[in-house]
Amino acid sequence: MSDHALRLLREQPHLAELAAFPFNFDLTRADHGEAVRLASGGPLEAVAGDDTGGTYFVCGDGSVLYADSEGSAGIIGNSVDEALEVLVGLPGWHDYLGLAPADGEEKIRAAVAETEEEIREYHGIDDERTELRAGLGLPERSPVELIGLLHAALLRTEPDFLLLNAEEGGAHDLLDRHPRPPLWEAVLARGRTDLTLLREGSAWDEVAGDRARRALALRAAQFDRREGDLPLLRHLLRHEAEASMTDELRLAAVLVGLHGCAEDLPLLYEVRETDFDTWCGLGGMPEPDADPAELRSWARGLDDSLFGTDPADEPLFTWTGLAREQGLVELARAALIRRLDDIDFRAYCDARDGKAMERRDASQLSSLVHEFEQLGDTFQALRAQRLYVPLQTRAWDRVSALLRLARLEREEGRFGAAIRTLASLRDTLAEPDAGSGSGSGSGSDKSLGHWQRTNLGAYIVEEHYAVARTAATDTALADEVRAVTVAAGELLARLSGTARANVERHLAGTTDTHTDTHTDSRTDTHTDTGANPDAGVSAEPTPPQPSAG
């Protein structure tokens, strides 16, 4: 990962001129023209550009990322030295992005020869290449070797070097179109290894005792089913029950049940009775004295509707969640950003064509917000929440979505936006039917009828105070902060007596830092569940529950 060649170019103007022409690595063109950053948050330094508007960036590990002017980017070398080997040895390298070593020496040499002959019609490259290689100390490699270097570098672009527009957050396309392994393949690799160990009779307790490894082993068993797996499946099932209700617990129960053994019915019943969540999540399970055929039928029904044997059929969020649990954070982030970009692009096309955004995206957007927050990526969570808010037609859901949006804006330091969002929230409280799109007449939406007596009311008041407190650091927002503070007091006065007392006690007895954290985590409870306020009123805010996403 040497930067020897870059230092020489900066120190010797003649070499820099040669690099700029004819090899199009120009140190004077290092301004990309728009703000970009890596999704991972890693360092990025623009060092050169070309005459097409493309820019060469050096990443934290020394890798060189090239971003063109059309919104594509890719790693082209493990170091500046290696990137310059490619640029000098393959001056028509843009034409070879589809080539790979598997194409064979004959095809590679023919493609390179054809491009270089076309270049020679306009200017020389041979003497210049020899001089620049000598001046920079670059080795002379064959076109086949250089295509191998370029191809290997391009394949490293994602997930660690995913380039984003810094303002809007959308990802650049890949510079090349070489096929990549699906997400599930990388995520399942560890699980397949552990499943092999389990089948060999080793590491049973090590795998079963580790939540992430246990989940991956169960997923591996889902897609590679064998008759002899029943003992290890029982072992994994017992341990997964300790984590209460999870998708993997249901999967383990299904995999055991598919064997149709009567002696497993008491075990499955015991697992179902672990707690209230497992009792609900494994509902419909046959009783301990049921016929084995009934057990097999129950397992097949769940398998057909929820699982199956093809990993490509699993939802994206299955794999991003498992990737996150085993520390493959950037792999999960890249896949989630790509999915969000797809939804964002469809929303743009719908808006351009005068159509409403598809409501089918609402559940995916909710899951995206949750997954990004799990990754600590508030910026992308905010992107997803902005798209999610307009899809809410029920007043309760709109208020919950706006409340979460305000929190995310506050956490991102976008205080003015958070203040405007809270104003929209208060408008919805005042006129629940506005913006519902139901067309059912005034006063038809009763979902907010008792918001003053619910957790939602407490969250609304606490978020107003949190925004006022944090936005007070921005003197340009002094008038807006005063308005939010006044609104918070008015909302507080509208809460029921018990709810108001609880909020006042909470605000008075908690430090700023603790108040922010407590308020934020609890806000997600009503946002995710969208509970009906008429179904039960609680003045005391309840602990947050995990998102269904």
- What's the rounded mean pLDDT across residues 2-14? 92
- Give the CA angle between residues 189, 193, 197 to the nearest 5°: 165
What's the rounded Cα separation, in Å, for the pair 414 and 401? 17
Determine contact, residues 214/207, Cβ cutoff 8 Å: yes
* Range in 59-63, 353-357, 455-459, 480-484 the model is least confident about: 353-357
pLDDT at 510 (0 to 100)? 58
Q: If DSSP states are collapsed to H, E and C, what string results for 206-247?
A: HHHCCHHHHHHHHHHHHHCCCHHHHHHHHHHHHHHHHHCCCH
- What's the rounded mean pLDDT across residues 153-178? 97
pLDDT at 3 (0 to 100)? 82
Determine contact, residues 66/77, Cβ cutoff 8 Å: no
- What's the number of CA atoms in the CB half-sphere (13 Å) around residue 446? 3
The DSSP H or E segment spanning 72 is strand 72-77
Which tokens is 33 given? 């023209």
Q: How confident is the model at residue 321 (pLDDT cuts 50, 70, 90)?
A: very high
- The per-residue pLDDT of the chain, averaged, comes to 91
Q: C-alpha 363: how far from its chain's center?
A: 15
The sign of the dihedral angle between the CA atoms of 179, 182, 187, 191 is negative
- What's the rounded mean pLDDT across residues 476-487? 97
- What's the rounded mean pLDDT across residues 354-364? 87
pLDDT at 433 (0 to 100)? 87
| DSSP code at position 202 | -
- What's the rounded mean pLDDT across residues 5-25? 97
Q: At residue 534, does pLDDT exceed 70?
A: no
DSSP per-residue letters across 121-138: TTS--HHHHHHHHHHHT-
- What's the rounded mean pLDDT across residues 437-443? 50
Say which residue, 353 or 425, is predicted with more confidence. Answer: 425
Q: At residue 520, does pLDDT exceed 60?
A: no
What's the rounded Cα separation, in Å, for the pair 399 and 458? 13
* Range in 140-149, 407-416, 441-450, 500-509 the model is least confident about: 441-450
Residues 389-410: pLDDT tens digits? 999 999 999 999 999 999 999 9
Determine contact, residues 332/324, Cβ cutoff 8 Å: yes
- What's the number of CA atoms in the CB half-sphere (13 Å) around residue 103? 19
pTM of the full predicted structure? 0.89
Beta bridge pairs of residue 239? none
| Among the listed residues 216, 227, 235, 284, the one whose alpha carbon sits nearest the alpha carbon of residue 261 | 227
What's the rounded Cα separation, in Å, for the pair 277 and 285? 14
Residues 74-97: pLDDT tens digits? 999 999 999 999 999 999 999 999
Q: Coil, helix or strand for 77?
A: strand
pLDDT at 443 (0 to 100)? 58
Determine contact, residues 87/73, Cβ cutoff 8 Å: no
Q: At residue 532, does pLDDT exceed 90?
A: no
Strand bridging mode 72-77 / 163-165: unpaired
